[in-house]
Structure 1
Amino acid sequence: MLVGYMRVSKADGSQSTDLQRDALLSAGVKTDHLYEDQASGKKDDRPHLAACLKALRKGDTLLVWKLDRLGRNLRHLVNTVHDLTDRGVGLKVLTGEGAAIDTTTAPGKLVFGIFAALAEFERALISERTIAGLAAARARGRNGGRPFKMTPAKVRLAMAAMGQKETKVGELCTELGVTRQTLYRHVSPSGELRPDGEKVISKRKMYS
């Protein structure tokens, strides 16, 4: 069975899913197998995506118009597709930069494997750089005392670390110099950005 997912960023009527809908219908998705959200791709709360993923069964294929309609970021996308693959569900992207991805075919799986490798490399690189930065800060005597606030570097390190099963939250908090409460306000247990974490990173970009 083919299942389609659509998303637009605004719920005020200024954006339409008509183009996505037409493409998905032309690809063979039936009208009653379409799911639609009107929410920013950065938000965790996308109820129809959750319903769509839950409805998929082994042998089904999820179709999206473009890759950015599905994932909040590369890491979230990779995790989502790995979960679908484990369940025997395929993913096909119709257009855009990810149009070569079709995990029901060998070439498509290869392309997605490259995406996954890039995501893993990005996470390792961020972790390596931020750990080095924290070590340098400790060497300058910025250690102990009142916990420091979260910084973009700490948020990125937390994202990379929280996605690893072997990470001990208590040790991570000590390394970052923050409390558990502060950590969880910025990053979820699975390593996804939360609103406070997005604000920290966005603020840094604003002034950079």
Structure 2
Amino acid sequence: MSLIGYARVSTAEQDLALQLDALHAAGATRTFEDRGVSGARTERPGLNAALSFLREGDILVVWKLDRLGRSMTHLLQTVADLEDRGVGFRSLTENIDTTTPTGRLVFHIFGALGQFERDLIRERTNAGLTAAAARGRKGGRPMAATPERVARARHLIATGLTVREAAARVKVGKSALYAALRNGEPKNDTNR
């Protein structure tokens, strides 16, 4: 069993010393770093290297939870992936250790809270859409391939333009125009 550390700072001007000292004091035998990498970025070379390096029985250690995850969902997924591989997780600041029953409980409570938050967001979104529909408003993008634009495009194509050129002239995505021409009716423009 090895303790493998991961440290990250968002800007190049920030210093990793605090995190590295804490990870070293916790017993990390090797530490991976990301400097000047926002937690919101999906591509974090140091984290990817740490995750690749970890073996069954190892423990990934971070100074604080927000150093690992972009969001609660990402954090939960990363720790679940570690768990599936037989790798533990420890956050020093929050005193969470998934190699202990209490640590797993706390982390699963975080997971339940994250799911609860997602459910609330979904519920509020659906309620908002229902309220908007009751007022006669419809969600989604406005239709770009209107009957007028499709008719203009048909005319331009008849005069020798390609569908791509006609789509550009009438400001409709080529895929939407192809679909409207094929079906004889306008379609929503998703390639704008």
TM-score normalized by structure 2? Answer: 0.70
Q: Is 1:36 equivalent to 2:36 in the alignment? A: no
* 1:109-124 matches, cutoff 5 A: 109-124=104-119
Q: Post-superposition shift, 1:50?
A: 1.3
Matched, 1:104 2:99: yes
State the structure with more CA Rg: 2
How many Å separate the matches in 1 of 2:113 and 2:128?
A: 22
Deviation string, structure 1 residues 70-120 (Cα, Å, up to 9, x no partner)? 11111111111111111111001111xx22x10000111111111001001
What CA RMSD, in Å, does the superposition of the two structures yield over aligned residues?
A: 2.1
Deviation at 1:139, TM superposition (A): 2.3
Q: Aligned partners of 1:130 and 1:145: how far apart in 2? A: 13
Equivalent residues of 2:129, 2:139 under 8 A apart: no
Q: Does 1:72 align with 2:67?
A: no
Which residue number in structure 2 is paired with residue 6 of structure 1?
A: 7
Q: How does 1:1-208 map to 2 (within 5 A)?
A: 1-11=2-12, 14-30=13-29, 33-38=30-35, 39-95=37-93, 98-99=94-95, 101-143=96-138, 146-147=141-142
Structure 1 counterpart of 2:8, one-letter code: R
Partner amino acid, structure 2, of 1:142: R
- State how far apart, in whole Å, the 1-side matches of 2:140 and 2:110 are: 41
- Residues 1:134 and 1:83: Cα distance change in structure 2 (over 3 Å): same
Task: Extract unaligned runs of 5+ from structure 1.
Answer: 149-177, 183-208
In the alignment of these two chains, the number of paired residues is: 146
Amino acid at match of 2:28: V
CA shift in 2, pair 1:147/1:55, >3 Å: farther
Distance 1:139 1:43, change over 3 A: same
| Distance in 2 of aligned mates of 1:124 and 1:132 | 12
For the residue of structure 2 that corresponds to 1:37, the secondary structure is: strand
SS in 2 for 1:35: strand
In structure 2, C-alpha distance between the alignment counterparts of 1:55 and 1:132, rounded to whole Å = 45
Partner SS state of residue 34, structure 1: strand
- Shift in Å, 1:138: 2.1
Q: Tell me the distance in 2 between the aligned counterparts of 1:122 and 1:103.
A: 22
Q: CA deviation at 1:25?
A: 1.0
CA deviations 1:120-166 (Å, max 9, x no partner) are 10000100110111122222222278539xxxxxxxxxxxxxxxxxx
**TM-score when scaled to structure 1?**
0.65
90 and 181 in structure 1: CA distance in 2 versus 1, 3 angstrom threshold: farther
